[in-house]
Structure 1
């Protein structure tokens, strides 16, 4: 399995996956922190009552919800489409690895890539906050928890799109689902949390650690039990779905 994960990284060099991911990381960080540099916002950066770090985390959550579903679909689609165009499924089978095992290797490789990328994205947002002049002490707990959950939810949707891209050769379907998911993820930020839990992409809102309260923004506690249940369900579904791929004719 390890050698196939390494092979997936070699494919990423040809697909320019890392430069694409870095561009998207920089874009999300820039858009999340853009409001910090407006004249109206600068006056509140040193006001502890205004909770500038929580407001920045909420902005980050909104931008991540808008872009992460598309990012997951594009990364998974590009990583999987190469097998359709280059007879990769047959070559992997000749080497003793089934289509399901190859999909699981792709997920492992993308997860290893997403982990530092999302960490870097969060650090860039925090760096922008400090550069803008936020002097209120930072509470790292909500930021660390949100970053970890964002990575896990991104990995879960990478699993979904890897399976979808492997099952259907037309990659516009996978990317189209990702674009629809981005709309649902942003919409979920505007509806009650109980309703968001019923929408798969709603978990980009469920993992939020900042929200509106009493006319302002403050840190909130995410429903970790629901999030864990969602991740376990997606993991089990991915394992079952990729095993069924082994029975499909190619």
Structure 2
């Protein structure tokens, strides 16, 4: 806990908070803009729940566009300070090995990512009620989406912490994030195996609503696949950071 506390202390000097705010506000803003441009205000009383569907559809796209980049920036900034100030060596002398330090960074940033991801859903749900969507609130679909989004974001976070720890040039890490955005956005057009072997491909699986032909419908999120991603990501992160513990800082 003291190591995690140190990570939060470092964040105060790295603008982690203002950057993290971009995640819920940016995603909610893009989602709301897309929904309004799709004529949501004229269909607030649609009994089939057009308002909730269009918000969920836009939320899935906004998540793919914004989350990979913001998570990469947050990870890069919190890890880069160790490269710049020989922090790996300094932390090792106090008992915090590189692997332990990476796990502390994941825990501290993970709390922020979870809070931001839940907040983006709450902002849009509140906005939906506030503007007068009259159809029943689809709690199951919103809950499934939020759980899936949290899981995928944490998997991407784990990947970027490891990558930033191994590669000192953080421009490389941000470049990988840009590639991740392309994978996330264009996942439906990619071979199926590529969609499942990268964490960014799972953003498409988290879509809870989309157009099928001319009809806007709810989609069933494959929570089992998301669970597999969580298990694989957690196992890989644990193994890799354990190897960091056995290496010299």
TM-score by length of 2: 0.92
Residues 48, 136 of structure 1: 8 Å contact kept? yes
Measure the CA separation in 2 of the matches of 1:159 and 1:194.
Answer: 21
Measure the CA separation in 1 of the matches of 2:188 and 2:52.
Answer: 19
CA drift of 1:212 comes to 2.6
Q: How does 1:227-238 map to 2 (within 5 A)?
A: 227-238=226-237
Q: Which residue of 2 aligns with 1:181?
A: 180
Q: What does the per-residue CA deviation read over 1:184-210, in whole Å, with 9 as the maximum and x for residues that have no partner?
A: 101115568776334431101112222
Runs of 4+ residues deviating >4 angstroms: 189-195
Q: Secondary structure at the match of 2:135?
A: coil
When residues 57 and 39 of structure 1 are mapped into structure 2, their CA distance, relative to the original with a 3 A threshold, is closer
**Residues 1:74 and 2:94 aligned together:** no
Q: Which residue of 1 aligns with 2:32?
A: 33
Which stretch of structure 1 is more off in the superposition, 132-141 or 53-62? 132-141
Measure the CA separation in 2 of the matches of 1:202 and 1:62.
Answer: 12
CA drift of 1:221 comes to 1.5
When residues 153 and 196 of structure 1 are mapped into structure 2, their CA distance, relative to the original with a 3 A threshold, is same
CA drift of 1:50 comes to 5.6
Q: Secondary structure at the match of 1:48?
A: coil
Residues 62, 189 of structure 1: 8 Å contact kept? no
Residues 151, 226 of structure 2: 8 Å contact kept? no
Measure the CA separation in 1 of the matches of 2:2 and 2:248.
Answer: 25
CA drift of 1:166 comes to 0.5
Q: How does 1:1-250 map to 2 (within 5 A)?
A: 2-38=1-37, 40-49=39-48, 51-189=50-188, 196-213=195-212, 215-250=214-249
Q: Secondary structure at the match of 2:44?
A: coil
Q: Secondary structure at the match of 2:211?
A: strand
Measure the CA separation in 2 of the matches of 1:194 and 1:210.
Answer: 23
Structure 2: tracts of 5 or more residues without a match: none
Structure 1: tracts of 5 or more residues without a match: none
CA drift of 1:95 comes to 0.8
Which stretch of structure 1 is more off in the superposition, 41-50 or 156-165? 41-50
Q: What does the per-residue CA deviation read over 1:96-122, in whole Å, with 9 as the maximum and x for residues that have no partner?
A: 121001000100001111122111111
Residues 160, 238 of structure 1: 8 Å contact kept? yes
Residues 193, 206 of structure 1: 8 Å contact kept? no
TM-score by length of 1: 0.92
Residues 37, 132 of structure 1: 8 Å contact kept? no
Q: Secondary structure at the match of 2:220?
A: coil
Output the aligned Cα RMSD: 2.0
Q: What does the per-residue CA deviation read over 1:191-242, in whole Å, with 9 as the maximum and x for residues that have no partner?
A: 6877633443110111222233353122221122211111111111111111
Q: What does the per-residue CA deviation read over 1:140-172, in whole Å, with 9 as the maximum and x for residues that have no partner?
A: 111112112211111111110000000010001
